[in-house]
Amino acid sequence: MNHVDLIAALSAAIGPEQVLHDERSRAYFAHDLFHSGRPPVCVVVPLTPEHVVDAVRVATSAGHPVVPRGGGMSYTGGYVADDENAVMFDLRRLDRVLEIDEVNRFVTVEAGCTWASLHEALAAKGLRTPYWGPLSGQRASIGGTLSQNSVFFGSVRHGSAAESVLSVDVVLADGTRMRTGSAGDTDGKPFVRWGGPDITGLFVGDVGAFGIKVAASLRLIKVSEAIGFGSYAFDDFETMLRMQVDLAHAGHGAEAFGIDAYKARNSAQTGKQLGAAAKTALGVLTSGKTLLSGLKDVAGMALAGTSALEQAAYSLHLTVEGDDDAHIALQLARIEALVKRNKGRVLPAVVPKGMRGRPFPPLRSALGVDGQRWVPVHGIVPLGEIVATVAEVEAMISARQADLDRLDVLYSPLTTNVPNGVLFEPCFYWYDEVTPLHIEATELGEAPAAWLKRERRDDRRAFVMELWLDTARILARHGAVNFQIGRAYPFAEKLSAPTTALLHGLKAQLDPRGLMNPGALLPRQAG
């Protein structure tokens, strides 16, 4: 179908206001935070799941690829289809919390609902999901997160987003709508994700290659009665990593993450905005007097600033949850014993307190301190491999220091604990063109004019891509797994032949014409 007729057919099916085809919209949706592609034919902005069903049927019956997009914060080309015939689905208007079932312990939300919105809806009831969002939760949608998978809030104890989901409500490539888990039974409720083979898992981490999520159900747990915080300085990266391994073996923490001095200055969560975040904590957290008493010193922290943090070469920050103050004190005492054994020292716990006070701040770290472009590359590495993996990656980067200096590229790492592993995320910053998506994501309002005047620097971007790919290959050799696979991480190359055949078979069954986000997750097969 030609583009004019396709836009007319989509407009007739779901309403012309829900079909964007102006040049500005098409250009905006051709980018993620790192990759650029061809503008789609149009962008469908559904208001209901039925809009998704109808629009998918119109597009795919006419032979057009369909591409889902959540909050837009990815960097691996997951929704950058690079196909001028593609129809993009911007799902952010599907944002309702549909049901909170306190008795059966599940919550059902539409796919475009953000983690921040869900957190707010559950907080008044003293409930949360076990994993309760990424740092970008102000913008990151739940459907997008389940497609990409992620870790952060709650992940030390409860794992990734995948381990909190019970059911997904998904539209397949032909417009068929299906629910997974016990919700897929006749009159079933989404209280478990199985009841036979785990079909739910098929659509988690699939990058939208198997279907477009329109809703999901997640487990609910009670918010902890008590909470505690710790921040610790280390003189070198290896020592901090060994401390994180010790933490994992001991089973301590709800969140635990490590940063270097640059991250301390750069991140909205850990830099100068921390004082403001901490000052709001008493007004934001209302989960009980024990929790509030744990934050009684936030005003003083805001005045003290973050100078001690910024002077630490590396710093580790964690939150612990428990039944009461005594339980918290016991955990923190055990953690401080591990810190002492690993030659660390105690810092004021500004970062974790501020982050719990304002868990989903603007994503200021999408740009560097001086408005540099930013891209991370990550791997979740087995505990026994993390020290050697980081050493090899940093040796590769150090060998190219002359080029980093010449092209003004900066390297800065982040680490996060997860069950049985450590997420290692090297980040690269460089001076380059700043896009409207970056300005929107950081919520800077009016960015400095000098940032907006920067020209596109293909030489720097190409060098960063080389670093990115080489890092991803090293991580893969050490057995790392990845989130937001998109079109970038070496996923298919790592699979055994039987696994490859199974996944291609599933793709062919669910999407026989190859029109559901083609090229994401798996390379297109000839013929």
> 287-302 pLDDT, tens per residue?
333 334 434 444 444 4
Q: Two tokens at 369?
A: 């301190």
pLDDT at 213: 98
Instruction: Select from 336, 326, 337, 158 the least CA-distant residue to 231.
Output: 336
Query: Between 230 and 262, whose confidence is greater?
Result: 230
Residue 359 DSSP SS3: coil
> For residue 109, how far is the Cα from the chain centroid?
18
**Cβ–Cβ < 8 Å for 484, 76:** yes
Q: Is residue 485 part of a domain?
A: no
**Residue 382 pLDDT > 70, yes or no?**
yes
pLDDT at 266: 64
d(C-alpha 92, C-alpha 114), whole Å: 8
| In a shared domain, residues 101 and 216 | yes
φ, ψ at 368 (rounded to 5°): -75, 180
Which residues does residue 380 pair with via DSSP β-bridges, in sequence order? 423, 481
d(C-alpha 301, C-alpha 313), whole Å: 20
**Residue 458 pLDDT > 90, yes or no?**
yes
Lowest mean pLDDT among 72-81, 112-121, 439-448: 439-448
Which residues does residue 228 pair with via DSSP β-bridges, in sequence order? 320
User: How many Cα atoms occupy the beta-carbon half-sphere of 365 within 13 Å?
Assistant: 25
Lowest mean pLDDT among 77-81, 238-242, 300-304: 300-304
Q: Two tokens at 62?
A: 């006419």
| In a shared domain, residues 244 and 212 | no
**pTM score, whole prediction:** 0.90
- The CATH number linked to 164 is 3.30.465.10
Instruction: Select from 464, 454, 198, 233 the least CA-distant residue to 350.
Output: 233
**Cβ–Cβ < 8 Å for 241, 260:** no
Q: Is residue 489 part of a domain?
A: no
Domain span holding position 349: 226-357
The neighbour count for residue 59, using CB atoms within 10 Å, is: 28
Rg (CA), the chain: 23
Q: Any idea what DSSP says for residue 78?
A: S
Instruction: Select from 434, 437, 253 the least CA-distant residue to 334.
Output: 253
d(C-alpha 331, C-alpha 342), whole Å: 17
Q: Is residue 319 part of a domain?
A: yes
Banded model confidence at residue 285, pLDDT cuts 50, 70, 90? very low
**Residue 278 pLDDT > 50, yes or no?**
no
| Per-range mean pLDDT, top range of 48-62, 341-355, 362-376, 480-494 | 48-62
pLDDT at 212: 98
User: Which distant-in-sequence residues (6+ apart) come within 8 Å of 60 by Cβ?
Assistant: 66, 173, 174, 175, 513, 515, 516
d(C-alpha 133, C-alpha 325), whole Å: 25
Q: Is residue 461 part of a domain?
A: yes
- The CATH number linked to 404 is 3.30.300
Q: Two tokens at 412?
A: 């800065």
The single residue listed with the structure tokens 């199974």 is 502
Residue 444 DSSP SS3: coil
| In a shared domain, residues 352 and 376 | no
| In a shared domain, residues 309 and 273 | yes
Q: Is residue 525 part of a domain?
A: no
Q: End of a domain among 357, 391, 426?
A: 357
Q: Is residue 321 part of a domain?
A: yes
Banded model confidence at residue 228, pLDDT cuts 50, 70, 90? very high
**Cβ–Cβ < 8 Å for 431, 372:** yes
Q: End of a domain among 475, 491, 509?
A: 475
Q: Two tokens at 201?
A: 């898992």
pLDDT at 284: 38
The vertex-89 CA angle with 52 and 170, nearest 5°, equals 45
Interval 265-294 mean pLDDT: 44
**Residue 257 pLDDT > 80, yes or no?**
yes
Q: What is the mean pLDDT of the chain?
A: 89
Give the model confidence (pLDDT) of 134-176 as tens digits. Answer: 989 999 999 999 999 999 999 999 999 999 999 999 999 999 9
| In a shared domain, residues 150 and 52 | no
| Secondary-structure percent of the chain, ordered helix, strand, coil, rounded to 5 | 40, 20, 40
Computed from CA positions of residues 385, 415, 145, 19, in that sequence, does the dihedral angle turn out positive or negative? negative
Pairing of strands 212-219, 165-171: antiparallel
Return the percentage of the chain with pLDDT > 70, whole number. Answer: 91
Instruction: Select from 142, 144, 136, 182 the least CA-distant residue to 164.
Output: 142
| In a shared domain, residues 338 and 403 | no
Q: Two tokens at 110?
A: 């539409």
Q: Is residue 153 part of a domain?
A: yes
Residue 45 DSSP SS3: coil
**Residue 376 pLDDT > 70, yes or no?**
yes
Banded model confidence at residue 1, pLDDT cuts 50, 70, 90? confident
| In a shared domain, residues 406 and 419 | yes
Q: End of a domain among 357, 386, 414?
A: 357
Distances in Å between the alpha carbon of 259 and those of 162, 232, 404, 408?
25, 11, 20, 21
Interval 388-397 mean pLDDT: 98
Sheet holding 66-69, edge to edge: 19-20, 42-44, 87-90, 66-69
φ, ψ at 383 (rounded to 5°): -55, -40
Nearest-10 Cα torsion for 256, 259, 263, 264: 80
Q: Is residue 516 part of a domain?
A: no
User: At how many degrees (to 10) do helices 237-250 and 386-398 cross?
Assistant: 160
- The CATH number linked to 44 is 3.30.43.10
User: How many Cα atoms occupy the beta-carbon half-sphere of 146 within 13 Å?
Assistant: 32
**Cβ–Cβ < 8 Å for 363, 22:** no
Burial of 476 (0-12, 13-18, 19+ CB in 10 A): middle
| In a shared domain, residues 184 and 236 | no
**Residue 250 pLDDT > 90, yes or no?**
yes
Interval 299-317 mean pLDDT: 67
| In a shared domain, residues 72 and 124 | no
| In a shared domain, residues 329 and 425 | no
**Cβ–Cβ < 8 Å for 353, 228:** no
**Cβ–Cβ < 8 Å for 166, 101:** no
| In a shared domain, residues 59 and 104 | no
Number of domains in the chain: 4
**Cβ–Cβ < 8 Å for 305, 311:** no
The single residue listed with the structure tokens 């509030």 is 292
Banded model confidence at residue 273, pLDDT cuts 50, 70, 90? very low
Query: Between 187 and 107, whose confidence is greater?
Result: 107
pLDDT at 290: 37
Return the percentage of the chain with pLDDT > 90, whole number. Answer: 74
| In a shared domain, residues 251 and 207 | no
